[in-house]
Amino acid sequence: MKDIHQQKLSFDSLNAVQQSNCISQVNSDIADRSLSGTFMYLVVWFCIAYLIYMDNKGAVFTQWLLAVSAVITVSSIIRVAMIWLAKKYLAQAKVSQYCLIAGLTISSLSWGGMAACAFLDTPLSSQSDLILLATVGICAGGAISFSASRLFTWLFLSCMLVPILVVEIVFTQSMQIEIVMVVVVFFLGLLSATKNPHREYMSALISNFQLKEISNTDALTGVRNRRYFDVQLHEEVQRSKRNQYPISLLLVDIDHFKKVNDQYGHPVGDQCLINIAKCLSDSLHRVSDTMARYGGEEFGIILPNMSADRCIEFAEEIRQNIAVNPLKVREHNISMSISIGCYTINNMTKNVNPEQLISNADEALYRAKRLGRNRVEANFD
């Protein structure tokens, strides 16, 4: 644990998969926090509209209120739809983020535009102070909600407050310096106030990803461990059922590994395990493939969407590569071999489960060991 906290926790310290998962988690949190704010827009606006209507019930005022109410309501509906899409496509981090950005921009600009109109010669000007107070109040709550992402904080505050500044500086005949100062100070103050919450949120999130990575990694070989393997196999089986493609599983066992430990000692045996794990890991060229230390001197390889014939070819390539290349450990050149049990299932019915794959691959592995080791045996379904 101490080593983790001594590391520099930053987004760049994560690998590509972790970065994508990190963005997805931020998107999920932003989406969850956005819903209440969206409904708050509507509640606050209709309270303001009621006060304006009670002050003046003229036709012009009524038309303005109806028009602004329609814009804010429609933009809120769009934002809710974008939040729903963002949560639906969380697995696609960038798509999810774009949905949230689009919804936030439309919704916040509709409010920011309304607030800006309050400082022009419009029916809204009768409640300009109340609208400004409501705007900065919503900004305070929203900025904290969006503190998980500096991008969303900047975007939200800009859409809400910059239209007021533009109107005051460019379109009014006599600029109210006090309004400009309040908006600018509030804008910069909220950006500054949300810096530490953002840093603490990201630090906790990144630390969590790094701890999860450690919990899924075999301490000796540095590859995935049995815990991760079991979870990943379950997910790949479910994915294969949905998409109706085959899935192959390899169980790999190092032949006569006990003799290596007895002859050269456990430190050399450990290094042999590390080298073979690296060879197996380097043999995988698809992002979807998973290799893990299954236990002791056994490794498991999950190969989604791989046919039985290709699975056997792949296993044979791995076996030959290790058999013909002695491992160089310290001053020793150690010749080693592996036995591999393969199982491929093509008929992905509801009854298929991970235990079935492991049992059949294990049966093939023990057949390879009974038939003399240093060979590939396969089961098919």
Active-site residue, 235 included: no
Percent of the chain with pLDDT over 90: 64
Mean pLDDT of 93-107: 94
pTM for the whole structure: 0.70
Pair 55, 114: CB distance under 8 Å: no
pLDDT at 6: 37
Between 3.20.20.150, 3.40.640.10, 3.40.50.80, 3.30.70.270, what CATH number should domain 226-380 receive?
3.30.70.270
Which of 128, 24, 41, 117 shows the shortest CA–CA distance to 78? 41
177, pLDDT greater than 70: yes
Write down the catalytic residue from 297, 313, 317, 377.
Answer: 297
Average pLDDT, stretch 179-189?
A: 93
Three state DSSP letters for the chain: CHHHHHCCCCHHHCCHHHHHHHHHHHHHHHHHHHHHHHHHHHHHHHHHHHHHHHHCCCHHHHHHHHHHHHHHHHHHHHHHHHHHHHHHCCCCHHHHHHHHHHHHHHHHHHHHHHHHHCCCCCHHHHHHHHHHHHHHHHHHHHHHHHHHCHHHHHHHHHHHHHHHHHHHHHHCCCCCHHHHHHHHHHHHHHHHHCHHHHHHHHHHHHHHHHHHHHHCECCCCCCECHHHHHHHHHHHHHHHHHHCCCEEEEEEEECCHHHHHHHHCHHHHHHHHHHHHHHHHHCCCCCCCEEEEEECCEEEEEEECCCHHHHHHHHHHHHHHHHCCCEEECCEEECCCEEEEEEEECCCCCCCCHHHHHHHHHHHHHHHHHCCCCCEEEEEC
pLDDT band at residue 211 using 50, 70 and 90 as cut-offs = confident
For the chain, give every domain's residue range: 8-209, 226-380
pLDDT in tens, 333-359: 888 999 999 999 887 776 788 998 999
What pLDDT score does 231 carry?
A: 92
pLDDT band at 163 (very low <50, low <70, confident <90, very high): very high
C-alpha span between 113 and 153 (Å, rounded): 18
Q: Per-residue pLDDT tens for 71-83?
A: 999 999 999 999 9
CA distance 246 to 350: 14
One-letter amino acid for residue 241 of the chain: K
CA separation, residue 331 to residues 256, 260, 264, 321, 322 (Å): 20, 14, 11, 21, 19
For the chain, percent of residues with pLDDT exceeding 70: 97
pLDDT at 5: 39
Q: 146 and 36 in contact (C-beta within 8 Å)?
A: no
Predicted pLDDT at 9: 56
